[in-house]
Amino acid sequence: MHVSHILAKLGAATCTEAAAVAHREGLTADTATDGQPHD
């Protein structure tokens, strides 16, 4: 399963924890809900 591989790579137990880790590590895009970058 793809999700389990992502969780393992991030060292997270849940999808919520993985999202927090990704955000903290700067792995997420900084975009608004319309897909446009923030200032």
Local confidence band at 7 (pLDDT 50, 70, 90 cut-offs): very high
User: With a threshold of 0.85, does the pTM exceed it?
Assistant: no
User: What are the boundaries of each domain within the chain?
Assistant: 1-25
> pLDDT tens digits for 8-38?
999 999 999 999 998 899 888 766 566 566 5
Higher pLDDT, 2 or 33: 2
Instruction: Give the per-residue pLDDT at 3.
Output: 93
Helix segments in the chain, DSSP class H: 2-10, 15-24
Report the 10 Å Cβ neighbour count for 18: 19
β-bridge partners, 18: none
In the predicted model, is pLDDT for residue 2 greater than 60?
yes
Greater confidence (39 vs 5) lies with: 5
The Cα-based distances of 39 to 12, 22, 24, 32, 36 in angstroms read 30, 20, 19, 10, 10
Do 14 and 7 contact (CB within 8 A), yes or no?
yes
